[in-house]
Amino acid sequence: MRLEPRAHVPLWLNLAAPLTAIALAFLLCGLLIAWAGAPVLAAYGALVKGALGSVFALSETLTRAAPLIFTGLAAAVAFRAKLWNIGGEGQLYAGALAATYVGTGLVTLPPLLMVPFLFLVGALAGGLLLLLPVILKLKLKVDEVVTTLLLNFVVLLFANYLLFGPWKDPLAMGWPQAAPIIDEGVLSPLIPRTRLHSGLLWAVFFAVAAWAFIRYSKWGFEIRAVGNNPEAARFAGIPMGATVLRTALLSGGLAGMAGVCELAGLKGYLTLDISPGFGYTGIAVAMLAGLHPLGVIAAAIFVAAIYNGADAMSRAMSISNYLADVLTATALLLVLASVLFVRYRPRLR
């Protein structure tokens, strides 16, 4: 087989390629399910039912999708500018920490202002956290992949210290958790008797805003230019440093808001398991979405559905829910591979 470049890429192919890849991922993982000794179709049935089969299942999937949209956007925006922010997890915790600091009694505003205020504070904390590795990158050419990744552990350990020490809620019966967010700051529930909260709406709003910003704003123009061809961007006089710093604030800010979303929407108080790796999964979400902010919404819901459904499948079929990780990873790999076939036409010789 050989590959020849395509002169034009039809729209249907752009949409069909990732969907085919995902179907193929299900097919491949079917082999694993069969290997584990479960009926494949019934297992996938349980997965779909567990992810989307009822109002409750759907609400759980969407609840999980909300923070993934935020972290997915964080990765997508940064990667667009070729800024390899792997620190979404740390920025998420930074956002949650900052929101806890101001939201547990330090500041009291009416609900209409308190929620945006918490998001703003969380975004600032996440953004400022990413600023540090980015300044090191700009001034000293320190590789941001390493610094952002390692900062995750620094932030997590700092949260550990706070929750076991000064911030420990005396009313929590010894559990390492902070005092709850005041009522004015809690995100309102969307559907009664489910955990779904208005964080999802905030996430979708920011996805649309991020898309419009990247697509239509002057700064978005600069981010895209720098990401696509840094040399040409520099040559054309686009301010490189400023653009990277803005991208960092935006990306870190979005990840920080994921922390606020989980804190003020789901738990109500800060714990150490507020994120089961949303920051890392956000990278997969962004790649699945082809770094498109609107695609991030769909990709986040897809990934959330897989994880949520895999839990149900694992209960029903007694197979490991690690399959969710395998399934997402396979889908991601195949989607990335499918990009090759969108750009090139395979030819059998």
Partner 1 sequence: MAQAQASAAAATGAEPVLRLSGITKRFGALVANDAISLGLGRGEILALLGENGAGKTTLMSILFGHYLADEGEIAVFGGALPPGSPKAAIAAGVGMVHQHFTLGENLTVLDNIVLGTEPLWRLKQNRAAALRHVEDLAARFGLQVESRRLVRDLSVGERQRVEILKALYRGARVLILDEPTAVLTPQEVESFFATLKTMAAEGLSIIFISHKLNEVMAIADRVAVLRQGRLVADFPIAEASREGLAEAMVGRAVALPERSRLEPGAPLLRMEGVGLRGAEGKVSLENLDITLCEKEIFGIAGVSGNGQAALAALISGLDAPTAGRFEILGDAIAEASPGAMLKRGVGRVPEDRHATGVVGDFTVEENLVLEAYGGDRFSRFGFVKGVALRRNAEEKIAAFDIRGADATTATRSLSGGNMQKVILARVLDQKPRIILANQPTRGLDVGAAAAVQALLFQARAEGAGIVLISEDLEELLQMSDRIAVLYHGRLSAPVPVEEADLRTLGLMMAGHGTAEHSDEGRHAS
Kindly state whether residue 232 participates in binding partner 1, applying the rule CB under 8 A.
Answer: yes
Q: What is the CA radius of gyration of the chain?
A: 21
Give the CA angle between residues 71, 43, 195 to the nearest 5°.
Answer: 40
Cβ 224 to partner 1 shortest distance, Å:
7
Nearest CA to 299 out of 103, 116, 70, 97 is that of 70
Binding-site member from 1, 8, 110, 193 for partner 1 (CB under 8 A): 8
Q: How far is the CB of 91 from partner 1 (least distance, A)?
A: 25
> Cβ of residue 7: shortest distance to partner 1, in angstroms?
4
233 binds partner 1 (CB under 8 A): yes
Assess 349 for contact with partner 1 (CB under 8 A): yes
Block residue for tokens 């979005």 = 254
Backbone torsions φ then ψ of 344, nearest 5 degrees: -125, 150
Per rule CB under 8 A, is residue 141 in the interface with partner 1? Answer: no
Task: Take residue 45 and report the two structure tokens written for it.
Answer: 């049935």
Q: Does 11 bind partner 1 (CB under 8 A)?
A: no
Q: Label the pairing between strands 344-347 and 2-5.
A: antiparallel
Q: What are phi and psi of 3, to 5 degrees?
A: -115, 135
Interface with partner 1, residue 14, by CB under 8 A: no
The number of residues that bind partner 1 (CB under 8 A) is 27
Closer to partner 1 by CB, 7 or 171: give it: 7
> Can you tell me which of 1, 112, 193, 235 binds partner 1, judged by CB under 8 A?
235
CB of 5 to partner 1, least distance (A): 7
State the minimum distance, in angstroms, from the CB of residue 298 to partner 1: 22
Q: Sketch the per residue contact string, 266 through 305, with partner 1: x for CB under 8 A, - otherwise.
A: ----------------------------------------
Please pick, from the candidates 3, 6, 209, 277, the single residue that binds partner 1 as defined by CB under 8 A: 6
Give CA–CA dist 140/133, Å, rounded. Answer: 10
Nearer to partner 1 by Cβ, of 230 and 268: the residue is: 230
- Closest approach, Cβ 218 to partner 1, in A, equals 5
Output the six-digit token pair for 161. Answer: 């210290």
Amino acid letter at 228? N
What is the phi/psi pair of residue 346, to 5°?
A: -75, 140
| Footprint of partner 1 on 212-231 (CB under 8 A) | 216-219, 221, 224-225, 228-229, 231
Closer to partner 1 by CB, 12 or 216: give it. Answer: 216
Instruction: Confirm if 71 and 278 have CB atoms less than 8 A apart.
Output: yes
Read off the DSSP letter of residue 318.
-
Chain-centroid distance of CA 156 in Å reads 17
Q: Which two tokens stand for residue 151?
A: 């900062």
Task: Check binding of 255 to partner 1 (CB under 8 A).
Answer: no
With CB under 8 A as the contact rule, the residue among 236, 329, 337, 340 that binds partner 1 is 236
Residue length of the chain: 349
Cα 164 to its chain centre, rounded Å, is 27
CB 194 within 8 A of CB 301: no
Contact positions vs partner 1 (CB under 8 A)? 2, 4-8, 216-219, 221, 224-225, 228-229, 231-239, 345, 347, 349
